[in-house]
Each structure stands twice: as C-alpha cells, then as structure tokens.
Structure 1
Amino acid sequence: ELPENWTDTRETLLEGMLFSLKYMGMTLVEQPKGEELSAAAVKRIVATAKASGKKLQKVTLKVSPRGIVLNDSGTNELIENVSIYRISYCTADKIHDKVFAYIAQNQLNENLECHAFLCTKRKMAQAVTLTVAQAFKIAFEFWQAAKEEKEKRERSILEGEGTSSPSSEAPAHPDASAATGNLLDLEDPAKSPLTSSTNSPHVDNSMFGPSSSVNNNVVWEMDDGLDEAFSRLAQSRTNPHVLDTGLTAQDIQSAETLSPVDWNKIDSNTGEKDDLFMF
C-alpha cells in the first residue's frame, strides 16, 4: 500500500532519492526472496563485518526507478549500479533492526546476491525499503507500457507484411525500431535515462520519465536481456507488480510518518561509531 503523499514521493523518486548509509557487505543466496533467507544472509554479513574489525564504508545510496546506484561518500567513486529490474527483494532486518538489505541478480554471472547496509535508525532502514518498493512500482508501470507498445508494434509490422509487396517488406523493421529507439537503458550508469532517436525529437532527457508518445501512447523500450531477467523475477513474486519486502503494515506506517524529503535526514548528525557490536 502506498502512502498518502505518493504523488509527491513519485516526483521525488523520478529524480532519485539519496540516503547516507554504511555498507556492510554482500553474500550469495539461493533464492530471490524470503524473510528467513535474507535474515540468514544478513546474519552472515554482520558476522563477517564484526570479524574483520574494519570500519564500515560510508556510502551514498541513490534510489530511483532506474535502480540503486551506490557511491563512496568520500571519493564519490561508483561502487555498484544495479537495475531495479534485477532487484527481487528488500527488507529492514527484524533481528539487526538498523540494517537495510536487498537481494539482486548479478548482471555478469546471474548469481543472486544479498547486500546489507547499516542505517542510523530502524525507521531509516524501513524508509529505504519502502522507497525501493515504490521505485519498483514506477519501473513496473514503465515496463508494462514498453511491453504493450512492443507487442502493438510487432502486430502492426506483421499486419503490414501481410498486405505489402515483397519489395516493401525490408524497410518495415528498421522504420519500426527507429520510431522508438532504445528509450529505456538501465544498465549503463554513464547513459542518460532516456535516449531519443532522430524520429523522437520530443524526448526530455532531463528527467527519468517518458515524454515521447505515438498516438498518445507513451513509448518505452528496454534491452531484451533485462526484459527476460525482469520477467523471470516477476514470476517469482507474490504479486508481480509489487516488490516483495519484509515490511509489515506497522513498519510501513512507521516509515510513512516521515516526509520523503526527510527520509535521508534521519539522525544525520549521529556519531561515527558503527554500532556493529551493539546489535
């Protein structure tokens, strides 16, 4: 269920919401979701972090419908860029209640990885979880629109081929692809969210959101590999258009008491200690 201020949240999410956290580490998991699965993974990550005795890395986590972008807070160096379509689960851990964790499929080897982050408060962990879930909802809407538009184009091409002479069949496919271009590219952080083609001059690259249309229908296109990955993950979800989270209704209500703009300001002046041994 979405908060009452969802419209405001949506606008903020399109630009990307920033959270200052501490990266605890990653471990491989066998399944794409599950509270017990993620709890066991977080337990392993916490134990490894404690055993290392090292200070946790301060990071900035940017959440948008494109996915999660992780940067080192000190150097601003890119650590991780994971597409929202590869994220299958996120949660505020029940035992280590200041820990936010998500499970995602690795882009290179397709392993399922659980990444964990230390937050300043439980409410912060809940807020990050809710934000990722809401970003997923927007991304799913974009994906559905792209899928429907792609199917409509393919039907149109097939119908056109059925009535065309052989000599006119060849340009049908290039024209169809040129009309949309690859408008949704979520894999490469260096690319802008939208890439317009020469036949789509009205695409606004300044914000993550479709502004190009064909017959009043928003046009989106995505990489086939991503499409397949997202389809597989969607099938494993309890409700395909909602990202599974470990949040209860009470958790969500607690996180919603904060304005989205304030979510990343919780206890920003907290001391430097990592609290790893205070769990």
Structure 2
Amino acid sequence: MIGLAGCGRMGRPMLAALRDGGTGAIGFDVVDKGVGHIVGNVMAFAPRLETLFSVVRDAAETDALLFDKQNLIGTAPNLARIFICSTLSPHYVRDLRARIPDHITLIDAPMSGAQVAAENRALSFMLGGTSADIDDAIPLLALMGQHFHHMGDFGAGMQAKVLNNMLAASHTAMTRLVLDWADATGLDQDKLLQLIHTSSGQNWLASGFDSIEFARDGYAPDNTIGILVKDVAAALDAAPEGADQALPRTIQDTIHALKPRP
C-alpha cells in the first residue's frame, strides 16, 4: 500500500493525484479530515504500508511520525520505501539514514510550486538517492509533478530545496515591500505586476501573485508564510562554515514581520 502522511495544503492534493493515478493511496493525518481515504488512527494506516510519502510540517512531526507517537518504523512491518517530502534541515535528513533500518529505501523528495502546482499535478521535485532508486520512483512522482531534478545522493535534494526556498523567501520579502511602496506612491498593483513579469524584476511570487494561495498572507506560525520562516532556518542550519548569514537572517525577519495584504 502507498500512504501519504500530512494531508494539508500540499499533501491533500498530492494524495488526490496519487489516487487519480490508480494507486489506491491512503492518507494519514492527526487532524480528522472527514474523508474516508484519510485516516487519523495510525493502526488503520501502518499494517499494510509499503511506500510512505511524508509531507508533515517539520522535524518534530517527522520524528513523531517515524519514531515516536506514530512510530511507523516500529508499527509498519512492510514499510520498504520512504519519500521525505517536507522541507527540513539537510543535516537532519542525512542523519535519518543511520536511524532507519538499511532495508528501507530513503529518498529525499521535497517539492516546489505551492498548492496551485500540487492541484495541477505540476510540482517540481528535488531528489536525493541512488540513480536506480530515483529511476524507480519517477513513474510514481510523475502522477504529482512535471519536473524532476536528481541532485545527488540522499540529502542532496533537501540541500537544493532549502537553497531554492531561501531565494523564494527573498522574492517574497522584496515583492511585498515593492507592492507596499507602490501603494504609497499611487501605482496600480496589477499594472506594476504585469510590468515586473516582463522586466528585470521578474520573480516567481510576482508572476504568480494572483494564483499563489499565500501571496497576500501575513505571518502566522501555522501558515505558509510561517513555513517560509522555518525554511530559511533550515537553510541557515546547513550554511557553510564561516558563511555570512546577515542577509538570510534579514530576509527571515522581514518574512516574520509580514502583515496581510488586501
């Protein structure tokens, strides 16, 4: 059985894509979703589980899922493959290899594109693992995404993801600042975004401002803006020794201070 844990903004459309692809995948979430194929009791999920997609929020929830409260490593006897899709510290992810039995294949497969890409089956996956394991995984990942970047051994996909997300956080911080300044000077938002899309300031958030679900959000610990703050922290945790962290920390502080935009 294929299972997906963490049926939130990203996990739920990913689960729908897997099911639409004929896999019969089952979801697990600690919050009752009121849907028959998403269960909240781990013992309705673990016994037949063979392939797991972990899309939980952070390292603490990953530990709970794999080792602690849900303990799938101990309660899923048929578990043979785990995809780590959450955005986590690369150090934490690499350390998982020593904590998980050798017979279980580990692939780090964080994704990019936000909820809109998950709903459109257009995610980009950054992958870490052996070439054979990645080749075997692509048909399943292709049910959810369109772009697959094999970055290297296990952990390399996560390293690439946190760097990508640090750049996305900078785009978010600056785009929101530019729009606030534009408001103060009387510029029309839509006209400015059209200009940015075709000019040197082009970036993912500005180009997708009307379709990215969190583009106007302010910071909250449990929303996607809050996740961006966490993702910058994950990048900083894996920063090269002696690296200048001033700019990433400024970006993180700016994201943390964002207020909702009308």
How would you bin the TM-score normalised by the shorter chain? 0.3 to 0.5
TM (norm. structure 2) is: 0.37
Structure (1/2) with the larger helix percentage: 2
Structure (1/2) with the larger strand percentage: 1
TM (norm. structure 1) is: 0.35
